[in-house]
A and B are shown apart, each in its own frame.
Chain A
Amino acid sequence: MSAILMPKPDERVLARRDAIIAGLAALLPAASLITEEDERRAYETDALTAYRQIPLAVVLPETTEQVSAVLKFLSAEGVKVVARGAGTSLAGGALPTADAVVLGVSKMNRILEIDTDNRIIRVEAGVTNLGVSGAVNHLGFFYAPDPSSQLACTIAGNIAMNSGGAHCLKYGVTTNNVLGVKMVMIDGTVVEIGGAALDSAGLDLLGLVVGSEGQLGVVTEATLRILPLAEGARPMLMGFQSAEACGACVAAIIGSGIIPVAIEYMDRPAIKVCEAFAHAGYPLDVEALLIIEVEGSEAEIEDLIGRITTIAAAFNPSTMKVSQSEAESAAIWKGRKSAFGAMGRIADYMCMDGTIPTGCLPQVLTGISDICAGYGLQVANIFHAGDGNLHPLVLFNANQPGELEKAEAAGADILKLCVEVGGCLTGEHGVGVEKRELMIHQFNTIDLDQQMRVKTALDPKWLLNPHKVFPLEGRPV
């Protein structure tokens, strides 16, 4: 049994299931309501597959009006609602309970408006992250946040979790690239927050909504910033014999005034698995590997790579290789972006997501390795080195009784270490159900109470994705 528990379902809601489903059926087209157990099972978990629970029902509305009608009905009935994008959350953000209705936005997947003069795109929230860029690439634009799951994950989920990605070192995360949302409150009220202008009047409600993990409302549309595509981009690989040298090299590059679009780090176990999967040309004889990508014209790229190479020389890299072709660049990124999937082929894993001050990198890597060794587990490290966002993958065998619990305990120790050195529990995946109970290590009661008051202000009965983000104990309801 996993250490993370969900509360007992509300028997009164379970007892009224038929009436609740009949009420939903009156509000939705038949194809938008899923009630059969084998079909509901598809929504029992997300990318944190260790936890599963079949929901009461699943609704897949096609319009904001339908979302509004559903929420109005369910809030009046006192039924919990778990909003869901593509179900790629690594934190259990879309994990349902038996007494909750899952509200999926997958049918709301239209591009509504493309406006290159104003550099914006308006989309329904079920559009995939890559679908946004795909809609504007031919016009010379792209949408900057690029989580590894971008082929599948939706803008709805990106907004809920304030998703990042490998390229946010230069372009920022979701919250820096969203201008407005249409959102449905739990009582069915539809609000427009922000819009096509760069800022809006009043309190920054948009900033609050982004990253609120589906607990304040259900976003159905978004206005996003699109940016002109760079003239060109090129990754380079740099291998080191120690994490210390590698970390110092990253600090020196950034300290010189160069902000590459991405600086990604992999340790030896991660390199081995990714190389076997993607044949990216990663060196296998190094302790630490950096993928550094720069952008610009051919001359600018040459210039930046020259500057980076000169800086790096002081840290004795044992490999230094600049991509020579589009194909080679694609392979380098394929290796990195498929890292989690590749790792999943050889073992089960818990993917952690803490962020640390970059200066603590060598110390924290040693700490992570000691923690995992203490539990008799292997670990592979993959992370965004430029901003200190770590993704240690704690490997375990789910078929071995007790190993999941050990992996969870090791993961928790790693995140506590991140907080101890001045960092945080989660850099881009969100708290979800996974890190809920760890929140007390980063925040005190006063901090958490104030956050929960915000939740209560907008969702007084705590019906929206309620069992997430905050520790179960000490809640107002």
Chain B
Amino acid sequence: MTSILLPEAEAEIEAIVHEAAGSKSPLAIHGGGTRDIGRPVQAARVLSTQALTGITLYEPSEMVLAARAGTKLSEIEAALKANRQRLAFEPIDWRPLLGTRGEPTIGGVTASNAAGPRRIQAGAARDHLIGIRATTGRGETIKSGGRVMKNVTGYDLVKLFAGSWGTLGILTEVTYKLLPEAETETTLVLEGLSAAHAVEAMSAALGTPFEITGAAHLPGSPSQTLLRFEGFSASCAYRRDRLAAHLKPFGPVTAVEGDASQALWRPIADVTALGAAADDAVWRISVKPSDGPAVGARLEAELGSRLLYDWGGGQIWASTRDQGDAGAAIIRAALSGGGHATLVRAAHATRAAVPVFEPEPAAIAAIAEKIRAEFDPAGVLNPGRMG
């Protein structure tokens, strides 16, 4: 029977971690519990940040927001929306893909460092995160960064914590810089391109000064290649015309504006556009964009994968049968030229048997291990979750 601990303050978390480290009894760290990703953690107790809530700072004129880790993402997004601001990295809502319930928290967004289609232009969570507080496996609460946009004071532990999946410490408070919402957006759609042509078209568009904030390719019949830009309406109209002319060699272009454009991107961000069967495994593959089509073709041929290309071809979502290694050997062999693959969705048994995250070269793994040992010497925080 798993027991759930719901501390309401850093001091309580420190006490829990002290005790856990002393007795070498591991803790599984949860936010909203919507991201069941990574190696399953064997722990008798769950430490949930759900009772550690509240926006602690929001200065719209300074474009900065801080919140305790368990604050619901929906609460933060509502506060930002009221001031026409946003977290520019387009946080992913994992619930539709993973079939999880509950409410994503800002701590979980940070610990997973996920980002949607706007990653290509705006960066990931790690690029917008400017400050953290976290209780390490030593039971000590540290801070790094702060609330200002430019800060090189000391080591950037902020970046190290983004995407650390609760293995270095328990995030207790995070501070993000914000960006204004765009006045409007436009998506240009090309139909019927092969993946190889689509990546060429996306590269051509991303090489223009028109500030593309989404570049995705949905195979299918017909396939759709989508290019998004955002900004003031006059500027979007100008870029629409220039970009359409630029993309003429790739075929006819249709423009989708405003709300209709927005509706195209949510399923891409949340990966429902992949259309994976309910019992399929789902991989996220990150490669050099021009390598994307060849990797995708191999997965289609050898694993019968459905594919979704995002980030101009640099991020591929792929379905595989959730059997055996769920395609791990073939996928990772396809990445011998560089890149990495994460098994985002699969049965616990599969994820316990297959390295969920790309195995690292020995020298890098050794560095990561040394660093992790300095933060969590007893190895009690989400042990094994990152492999």
Contact = CB atoms under 8 A, between A and B. Distances in A.
A310 interface: no
A407 B386 CA distance: 49
Nearest to A460: B370
Given A191-B364, A228-B208, A431 B153 contact: yes
A207 interface: yes
Contact of B156 (A162, A197, A446): A162
Interface string B261-295: 00000000000000000000000001111100000
A201 B156 CA distance: 18
A168 B153 CA distance: 17
A429 B338 contact: no
B315 interface: yes
B336 interface: no
A208 B238 contact: no
A296 interface: yes
Contacts of B143: 443, 447
B357 interface: yes
A447 B132 CA distance: 11
Nearest to B177: A387
B109 interface: no
A398 B152 CA distance: 28
B372 A203 contact: yes
Contacts of A254: 61, 63, 180
B56 interface: no
Contacts of B155: 208, 211-212, 451, 454-455, 469
A443 B314 CA distance: 38
Contacts of B242: 297
B98 to A, nearest CB: 19
B183 interface: yes
A231 interface: yes
Contacts of A258: 180
Contacts of A141: 207
Given A192-B361, A202-B357, A211-B155, A168 B150 contact: yes
Contacts, number: 255
Interface in A247-263: 251, 254-259
A388 B150 contact: yes
A172 B368 CA distance: 26
Interface in B27-73: 59-64
Nearest to B169: A450
Q: Which of B120, B127, B150, B314 has the most CB of A within 10 A?
A: B150
A450 B136 contact: yes
A394 B387 CA distance: 51
Interface in B116-132: 119-120, 123-124, 126-127
Interface stretch (B100-108, B158-166, B186-194): B158-166
A11 interface: no
Contacts of B154: 431, 439, 442-443, 447-448, 451, 469
B157 A450 contact: yes
Contact of A389 (B62, B140, B150, B209): B150
Nearest to B138: A450
Contacts of B340: 197, 200-201
B157 A427 contact: no
Given A355-B148, A450-B375, A203 B289 contact: no
B367 to A, nearest CB: 6
A456 interface: yes
A426 B153 contact: yes
Interface stretch (A22-30, A114-122, A280-288): A114-122
A252 to B, nearest CB: 8
A466 to B, nearest CB: 14
Contacts of B140: 446, 450
Contact of A197 (B59, B168, B338, B342): B338
B160 A203 contact: yes
6 contacts: A191-B361, A198-B286, A207-B162, A424-B153, A427-B148, A447-B142
Given A454-B371, A455-B155, 5 more contacts: A197-B340, A205-B160, A205-B364, A297-B235, A424-B151
9 residue pairs, one from A and one from B, having the closest CB atoms? A207-B159, A257-B180, A427-B150, A201-B358, A196-B288, A453-B374, A387-B149, A201-B340, A457-B370
Interface of B: 59-64, 84, 113, 119-120, 123-124, 126-127, 136, 140-144, 146-160, 162-164, 167-168, 179-183, 200, 203, 206-209, 232, 234-235, 238, 242, 286-290, 311, 314-315, 338-340, 342, 357-358, 360-361, 363-365, 367-368, 370-375, 386-387
